[in-house]
Chain A
Amino acid sequence: MKKAIFYIILSLVALIFIYPFIWMASAALRPEIEISSLSPFSHNFSISNYKAVLEKIPIGRAFLNSLFVSSSITFSVLVFSSIVGYALSRLKFRGRELIFMVILFTMMIPFQITMIPLYVLMVKFGWTDTYLALIVPGMISAFGILLFRQYFKAIPQAIIDAARIDGCSDLGILFRIVWPNSIPALVTVAIITFMNTWNEVLWPLIVIRKQSIMTMPQMVTLFAVGGQAEQVGVGLASAMMLAAPVVIIYCIFQRHFIASMVHTGVKG
């Protein structure tokens, strides 16, 4: 009896979480007059809303921009954060603890305080309206370093010593010995970094004005805010296009997504 009530509650709540997405997928395929319909079914499904999005904004280009920016940042964060994490966990040098404290400190700085001066820096560098402004400030992440440091600490010293005796350099040890033994940490950092970069809107809005450099969430945002979509269905179609890549990846790697975010307590 108690179980039955639990299942009813869970199913109702699951419906509340999933139904809006189903409704959106359906509404993006419906003509404007059916937009207030509660049911996801219709006899008049067509892809005309999607066609309208493609005609009005270069969303394909924005998709490629986002893919390029997110992949570059993810790759760079994996490489550089693991190098620093390796040094902090496996090498002894003076000032190591100080650097560790500095990294902890940077994680606590609210972005509200650095947002404006960072924008000024981009202007001074002449990086506004370029990929550099989107990529370079995200190339190392403090959270990535801390996670790698923690994970690398647990790797047995014997493996590392063996590689060193074989004449392996520290970079060699990191990429040939430590990386293959740290797949869960690499996956966690990759998922969190990629997702956060893919979903980021505020920073692109600040540094990019040129349409050909815009990221996908930025373009969809401006499309919605500017009233250029004109019809609700068209706006929803653009949102569907933005959601699709993440939702597809999420459906495949769902367990990893949840584990990663719980592990780090980081919000998307």
Chain B
Amino acid sequence: MRRRAIENNRVGYLMVSPYIIFFLLFVGYPLMFSLVLVFHKWNIIGPMRFIGFGNFGQLLHDALFWKSLGNTLIFLVIHIPLQIIIALVIANILNQRIAARGFFRAAFFLPVVVSGVVVTILWQQLYSQETGLFNTLLSRIGLPKVPWLISTRLAMPSIAIMATWKNVGLYIVLFLTGLQTIPASLYEVADLDGASEVQKFFHVTIPMLNPTMVMVVILSTLGGFSLFIEPYVMTGGGPMNSTLSCVLYIYKQAFYFNHMGYAATLGFAVALIIMIVVIIQRKLVETEIYT
């Protein structure tokens, strides 16, 4: 018995060793190194120069950094509610006795599996001012054309709408799975109490879906802070930096200007902000479920 335990020990360490090596090299070291980088000015070719908290000072006064955070906020304010409303409505309809449910589910899910690059190239054309599908459709029914990606006020909302189209299928299926775990007895009790459909929706369905809701809000938020390929391909961050996202800004600082220390500082700050935002969201959205 004792031998068995010792044997297990050795084999156990051996078997987790690939992960330990991997972790030290590709997670531990980069994390440590980023702590060094944030205190240095470095163009990756020359020597590193220690500048103390210089990068943080620069960050506080960097209008573009705050602009990218503001853009992310605009994205999230449009993307999250839109996503939740559409996903909730569709999931509730799909949860009825619907024929061909599998087909509809698969159709809504299609954009989720397709590369973001494909979706972006496609939507760039749909949004195109002169030859785009949306504007052609609008002028066909006698409405004025909309400067989807050209206007500084509309460009980010346009990207948020596209991202909703791309991701909402996943959230439909997540809500659908959540709906199917709600015990039918809860609705029966509500029926006995004479609750209307609307009351049942707001007092049974919504509270019971809370765990899914939390997940949807957090995943969408992480998506917003990771936005890169959409503005990179569609607008390059323009017009007038109105679609500059956090990751696109880090990318530009690192690979257009070779400001490695500053880019690492930006990455650090964004990661910190993500954590704070997610903690606040959990506090706001998460509720106790009484059953």
Contacts and interface: CB of A to CB of B under 8 A. Distances in A.
A235 B246 contact: no
A267 B250 contact: no
B109 A201 contact: no
Given A103-B19, A261-B170, A262-B174, A113 B136 contact: no
Interface in B199-224: 215, 219, 222-223
Given A36-B131, A123-B44, A250-B113, A14 B108 contact: yes
Nearest to A108: B275
A250 B9 CA distance: 42
Contact of B31 (A91, A113, A239, A243): A113
Contacts of B123: 20
Interface string A139-178: 1100001000000000000000000000000100000000
A224 B130 contact: no
Query: B-side binding surface: helix, strand, loop or mixed?
Result: helix
Query: In which size bucket is the chain A interface?
Result: 35 or more
B279 to A, nearest CB: 11
Interface string A248-268: 001000110110011001011
Query: A-side binding surface: helix, strand, loop or mixed?
Result: helix
| Residue among B30, B228, B250 with the highest chain A CB neighbour number at 10 A | B30
B107 A221 contact: no
Contacts of B120: 224
A116 B108 contact: no
A63 interface: no
Contact of A265 (B121, B174, B254): B174
Nearest to B123: A20
Given A21-B110, A109-B27, A206-B255, A117 B9 contact: no
A257 B39 CA distance: 44
Contacts of B31: 109, 113-114, 117
A183 interface: no
B13 A93 contact: yes
Contacts of B147: none
A257 B132 CA distance: 32
A83 to B, nearest CB: 5
B23 A102 contact: yes
Interface in A1-41: 3, 6-7, 9-10, 13-14, 16-18, 20-21, 23-24, 27, 35-36, 38
Interface in B107-141: 107-118, 120-126, 128, 130-133, 136-137, 140
Given A36-B130, A91-B12, A112-B225, 6 more contacts: A111-B226, A112-B270, A198-B115, A242-B118, A243-B118, A265-B215
Q: What 10 A-B pairs have minimum CB-CB distances, sorted nearest first? A: A93-B12, A87-B15, A117-B30, A36-B131, A113-B271, A91-B12, A117-B33, A199-B115, A239-B121, A114-B30
6 contacts: A36-B132, A87-B15, A113-B268, A117-B29, A239-B121, A258-B173
